[in-house]
Amino acid sequence: MRVLGIEGTAWAASAAVFDDETDDVTIETDAYQPDSGGIHPREAAEHMREAIPSVVDRALSTADGPIDVVAFSRGPGLGPCLRVVGTAARALSQTLDVPLVGVNHMVAHLEIGRHRSGFESPVCLNVSGANAHVLGYRNGRYRVLGETMDTGAGNAIDKFTRHVGWTHPGGPKVEDAARSGEYLDLPYVVKGMDFSFSGIMSAAKQASDDGVPVEDVSRGLQETMFAMLTEVAERALSLTGRDELVVGGGVAQNERLQEMLREMAAQRGADVFVPESRFLRDNAGMIAVLGAKMAAAGDTIDVADSGIDADFRPDQVPVTWRSGESVDVRGDPVGAIRGAEAVVTVDDRTVTKRRRQKTYRHPSLDERLRRERTVEEARLTHDARRVGVPTPVIHDVDLTEHTIVFEYVGERDLRDALAESRVQAVGEHLTTLHDAGIVHGDPTTRNIRVDGPRTYLIDFGLGYYSRDVEDYAMDLHVFEQSLRGTANDPEALVETVESAYAASGDEVVLDRLRAIEGRGRYQ
C-alpha cells in the first residue's frame, strides 16, 4: 500500500509518500517563517495555499507506483491552515479515486514513534509548539495522562525569546545560549502528571529585564521545563506499569531534553525512543504512516464527512488499528518498589520511602525538590490523618537522607482493585481534605491503598495548603485522569467520584472542574 500524506496544522506545509511494503517514507516540506513574532494564522494559511501543491507534486514524483490512499491532518491545529489541507486532500482523493483518511496530528506523533521503535505499548510524551502532554493506550483509546495547564512547551519558550527580541523559532536559540549559561533557579510546577509553564515564563522575562544574562536564563529555562516534562513522563510510566517511552514533537529535538529522558529511563530500567528529527517536527511522514494503519483497519471516511476539527482531542480517536491487543497494567514486584521519585521498601509492616537522587535534574534543583517534598509529605500526611482521612502513621523522618518511615497500610494499590465503593471513598476523602484547606496534589490510583473496608491516601509529596477552588478542582482532575488511564470502565467510576464529592463538597469545585476539562490545554 502506498499512502500520500498531507500535513498542515500550523507552520509546516508538508507531503509524504509511505510504502508499507518497503517501509520507505519520503517527506517534502516547505516551512512557514514569520517575519516577526509567532505564527500568524492567516499568513500561515496563505503559505499553505501556495506551498501545498508544490510539496504534493514533489512527493508524488518519488512514488514507485500508484497511490492507494490519501491521508491528511484533520486536527488539532489552526483552523485556516487545516481547511486548506482538508480541501487539497479531498480533491486528491477524488481525482485519484482512492480512499480518504483523516488523521489526528497528535496521535500521529505517538504512532510514528511506536512504528519506528517497534515498542508494543509505550507511553508517549508529546512536546511541540502548541502541545505538551503524556498519552497512554488503554481499551481502544489513547488516554491523556497528563498535560500542560496553560500553554504548550514550544509556545512558552517562544514567548520568552520574543520578549528578548529573538526571531521565531526560539527553541534552537535557547538551546544554543544555554550551553554557555549558569543555572538559574526558576519556578517548578508539577501537579500530579499535569504541569504549568506560565510562572516560569513570567519569572524568566523578569530575570532578563533585571539584567540576568540571557544565557543564564536560557539555562534555567531548559533545566526547569525539561525536568518537569521528564518527571511527568516517569510518573506516567510508574502509573501504567509500562517500561517503554516514545517522544514526539518539535521541542523533542532538543538534545538536553533527550539526555534527561534517557537518563531517567536508564535509572528505572525502561527503554526510550526518540525518532529522527524529520519525524519529530511537524511532517507528513507520520500522517502517511498512521494513514496506512488506519486504512488497513478500514478506518476511512467519506468526502462528505471529512471536515477538519481544530480541537480534535487524541482521546476522541478510536484506535481501530490496534484492536484485539491486551495491554493490562502490571503490578509491582514484592520487596523494593520503584516509584516515580522514590524507592519504597517494606519490612515488618513498616514502609521506608527514600527519595532518590534524580541525576537528570540540576543538582541544586534536585536537592531542593527532594527536601521540600519530604517535608510536605510528612506534614500533610499527619494533618490529613488529624482531620479524619485514613493515612499511614509516620514513625520517623530524616531530612538529610530524604527518608520517611511509615506504618504499612493496605493490601494493594487502588489501581489493582478498582471498584465504585473505593472510588466513592476517595471522593469523600478529597472533600474532607479540601474542607481543611489541604490539596493532595497527586491523587492517582497508585497513591491510594486499599484493604478490607478501608481506603487510604498516601504520597502527599506534591501536596500543599490552599483555599483556591482551582487547586481543589485540579485534585479531582488528576484523580479522574488516572482512572481513565488505568480503569476498564473509567466513566462510571468518574461519575461515582463526582457524585461522592457533590454530596458533601462545594459544587463550585465541580463547576471549575468542568472549566478545566473544557480548556483543551493540549491543543
pLDDT at 248 over 60: yes
Q: Which one-letter amino acid corresponds to residue 265?
A: A
Share of the chain above pLDDT 70, in %: 95
In this structure, are residues 441 and 191 in contact, taking their beta carbons and an 8 Å threshold?
yes
The pLDDT value given to residue 11: 83
Q: Which of 63-67, 169-173, 325-329, 432-436 has the lowest mean pLDDT?
A: 325-329
What CATH architecture applies to the domain 118-276?
2-Layer Sandwich (3.30)
- Average pLDDT rounded to a whole number, residues 352-372: 95
Alpha carbons 153 and 522: distance in angstroms, whole number: 10
Delimiting residues of CATH 3.30.420.40 domain(s) in the chain: 2-112+279-317, 118-276
- Average pLDDT rounded to a whole number, residues 231-250: 93
In this structure, are residues 232 and 190 in contact, taking their beta carbons and an 8 Å threshold?
yes
Alpha carbons 18 and 288: distance in angstroms, whole number: 6
The pLDDT value given to residue 195: 92
- pLDDT tens, position by position, 366-410: 999 999 999 999 999 999 999 999 999 999 999 999 999 999 999
Delimiting residues of CATH 1.10.510.10 domain(s) in the chain: 329-523
Q: Which of 46-50, 145-149, 159-163, 339-343 has the lowest mean pLDDT?
A: 339-343
Which cell is 49 given? 495555499
Catalytic residues: 442
The pLDDT value given to residue 340: 78
Alpha carbons 385 and 148: distance in angstroms, whole number: 31
- Average pLDDT rounded to a whole number, residues 300-309: 90
Sheet holding 394-398, edge to edge: 337-338, 342-347, 350-355, 403-407, 394-398
Return the closest-CA partner of residue 158 out of 218, 232, 227, 248: 218
The pLDDT value given to residue 332: 42
Mean pLDDT, all residues of the chain: 92
Share of the chain above pLDDT 90, in %: 79
Report the topology of domain 329-523.
Transferase(Phosphotransferase); domain 1 (1.10.510)
- Helix 363-386 vs helix 214-240: crossing angle, to nearest 10: 50
The pLDDT value given to residue 107: 95
Domain 2-112+279-317 has CATH 3.30.420.40: yes
Alpha carbons 339 and 332: distance in angstroms, whole number: 9
The pLDDT value given to residue 505: 78
- pLDDT tens, position by position, 477-493: 999 989 988 888 899 99
Which cell is 205 given? 522575562
145 phi/psi in degrees, rounded to 5: -85, -25
Which ranges of 210-283 does DSSP label H, i.e. alpha helix? 214-240, 255-268, 277-280
- Long-range contacts of range 336-343, CB-CB < 8 Å, 24 or more positions apart? 338/238, 338/268, 338/269, 339/238, 339/446, 339/459, 340/231, 340/234, 340/235, 340/237, 340/238, 340/239, 341/231, 341/234, 341/373, 341/461
126, 196, 207, 311 from 38: Cα distances, Å? 20, 20, 22, 20
247, 308, 319, 357, 493 from 294: Cα distances, Å? 21, 17, 8, 43, 30
The pLDDT value given to residue 35: 65
